Amino acid sequence: MEEFWVFGYGSLIWRPGFDYVESAKARLAGYHRSLCVHSFVHRGTPERPGLVFGLDRGGSCVGMAFRVEDSKKDATIAYLRERELVTHVYRELVLQIRTVDGRRVRALTYVVDRGHTQYAGKMDTASAAAIVKRSHGRSGANVDYVRNAFEHIDAMGLKDHWLQEVVSRL
């Protein structure tokens, strides 16, 4: 039986919210991490949307891979669907990732749906920071989310100059 993995690139890096037996830095090819999703629930509201990360097409993304034991697979998928698919701005896909030690594994991954009304696309740092500064949702302030993401991405040894500029404007 194939092992069950989950790929995290945003808040799943620091707050997966499910039990796992192994974690490893991993790279997903074909998608990049982008602050490209208007949050209507967790970090904003429909009236005052926040911004959260999505995997957008092109490039690659280094994040965290989490291996979940088989007995917890169904519960983990149910939890992630409740967390990530609230408004269906993400598509749930199983994609190949490569762990830092060279293993190629298939992982459950959430990729932004560019056709969804919440897709924000690419924006300049000043516009992104202005949205983040004013937004708050069910899971807290948008500023806290973006700063946490930046700190954890930086702690992984990754450089994201665009995100660093957004954080400096907060």
CATH no. for residue 29? Answer: 3.10.490.10
Q: Which of 36, 11, 31, 25 is nearest to 157 (CA)?
A: 25
Total-model pTM = 0.93
- In the chain, the number of structural domains is 1
Domain boundaries, position 101 = 4-168
| Look-up of token digits 């280094």 | 62
Partner residues linked to 93 by β-bridges: 109
pLDDT tens profile 18-60 = 999 999 999 999 999 999 999 999 999 999 999 999 999 999 9
pLDDT tens profile 97-106 = 999 999 999 9
Spell out the residues 6+ positions from residue 109 whose beta carbon is closer than 8 angstroms to its own.
6, 7, 28, 31, 55, 92, 93, 94, 95, 97
CB-neighbour burial class of residue 159 (10 A; exposed 0-12, middle 13-18, buried 19+): exposed
